[in-house]
Amino acid sequence: MASSTPADSESLGTDLFGSAFLARLEKLNLLYKRLAKGGQIAERRSVNLGASQEFADYRNYVRGDDLRRIDWNVYGRLERLFVKLYESEEDLAVDILIDGSASMRWAGFGDSSKSDADELTKLDYARLIAASLGYIALSRLDRVRLHFFAGRIVHSTGRLHGKSAFPKMLAELSRLPELPRETGVASVLDTFLRKPPRPDLCVVISDFLDPDRLIETLEKAAVGRTQVVLVQTLHPREWAPVLDGSYRLQDAETHRELDSRLSAGALENYRDRLRQFAERIERTARQRGIGYVRVLTDVPFEQLILRVMREQGVLR
């Protein structure tokens, strides 16, 4: 975890989150497609018709409707009862889960450490994504909560509300807790979605390199009213490795080892496996109405937030 010190993260956040960028973020909204019950007034325009002052539509009166919502002027003209509908202005509970396992802290292959040291780890990139999404949510007066997990939820922040909480959120992102090596993303996600209170929007940022039950979990996830977005973060060297010779491969999380001589054919096989694995996650997620974004850490961050996320329907 070479690039995970708080000082590094703060400077990273300060550099990346300049005023111009933040101003552009403020113009974005997290796209929320599910009905949610809002408790506080927020600036999010929901598809839920509620009690705000902005008229939306009419519908026929049915017994039990609030009589105060009947439009008597229309009754006078048409002699039929219609109820006025208004758009609901709700705040959202946004939970962002950040995978802090060893694979997310992977900084590239050891034989090219110099060049890798200057690059972002997947965890660094995940924290930047979390900060961006969090800022967007805070600026819309949504309630944001961050979670770090590695096999389990290791650390969670309190609900952050309002743009004034953004520095605190950055501090939380920079201050990484002690994290175990293993991912356990499937169990974490399963547990999180089942445990109330469920958030309105749940963003999971991970590499999802968990062979155990991930697909099954996604297929059976108790999504309910919660909108889930998966952001799969992968390192470019991990996505398309350039290796040659005999190696002793060691799993970053389990420390299992494998001796092998890597040929061009073997590398091609690996790339195919990884692509198939990622595509399988994406396919399963989309079948369940779960959002999915796959991103490599060498994609410029602004491009990711301002273009890729919008294209993938996470932001608008």
Q: Which residues of 27-54 are buried (b: 16+ CB within 10 A; e: fewer)?
A: ebbbbbebebebeeebebebebbeebee
Q: How far is the C-alpha of 210 from the C-alpha of 277, rounded, in Å?
A: 10
- Name which of residues 175 to 204 contact other proteins (CB under 8 A): none
Binding range to other proteins, per CB under 8 A, among 138-146, 185-193, 233-241, 292-300: 233-241
Q: Is the dihedral of CA 291, 157, 104, 211 positive or negative?
A: negative
**Of residues 162 and 236, the one with the C-beta less far from other proteins:** 236
Residue from the set 22, 277, 296, 312 that interacts with other proteins by CB under 8 A: 277
Q: Which residues pair with 227 in a beta bridge?
A: 201
Q: 20: which residues sit within 8 A by CB, 6+ positions away?
A: none
Binding residues with other proteins: total (CB under 8 A): 42
**Of residues 178 and 257, the one with the C-beta less far from other proteins:** 257
Question: In this structure, what token pair is assigned to residue 272?
Answer: 């195919």
Residue 269 lies near other proteins (rule: CB under 8 A): yes
| Type of residue found at 152 | R
**Of residues 20 and 264, the one with the C-beta less far from other proteins:** 264
Helix H or strand E segment including 25: helix 19-26
Binding range to other proteins, per CB under 8 A, among 144-152, 252-260, 283-291, 299-307: 252-260
Residue 114 lies near other proteins (rule: CB under 8 A): no
62 conformational bin, left if phi > 0, alpha if psi -120 to 50, beta if neither: beta
Helix H or strand E segment including 85: strand 82-90
Residue from the set 231, 238, 301, 314 that interacts with other proteins by CB under 8 A: 238
Q: 263: which residues sit within 8 A by CB, 6+ positions away?
A: none
**Of residues 103 and 227, the one with the C-beta less far from other proteins:** 103
**Of residues 197 and 265, the one with the C-beta less far from other proteins:** 265
Residue from the set 54, 216, 244, 298 that interacts with other proteins by CB under 8 A: 244
Q: How far is the C-alpha of 253 from the C-alpha of 206, rounded, in Å?
A: 14
Residue 271 lies near other proteins (rule: CB under 8 A): yes
**Minimum distance of other proteins from residue 251's CB (angstroms):** 4
**Minimum distance of other proteins from residue 263's CB (angstroms):** 6
Helix H or strand E segment including 236: helix 236-239
Rg (CA), the chain: 23
**Minimum distance of other proteins from residue 112's CB (angstroms):** 10
Residue 76 lies near other proteins (rule: CB under 8 A): no
Q: How far is the C-alpha of 128 from the C-alpha of 125, rounded, in Å?
A: 5
Residue 7 lies near other proteins (rule: CB under 8 A): no
Cβ pair 17, 133 in contact under 8 A: no
Cβ pair 92, 202 in contact under 8 A: no
Residue 109 lies near other proteins (rule: CB under 8 A): yes
Residue from the set 111, 219, 279, 311 that interacts with other proteins by CB under 8 A: 111
Residue from the set 64, 76, 197, 245 that interacts with other proteins by CB under 8 A: 245
**Of residues 21 and 277, the one with the C-beta less far from other proteins:** 277
Q: Which residues bind other proteins (CB under 8 A)?
A: 103, 106, 109-111, 207, 209, 211, 235, 238, 240-254, 256, 258-261, 263-264, 266-274, 277
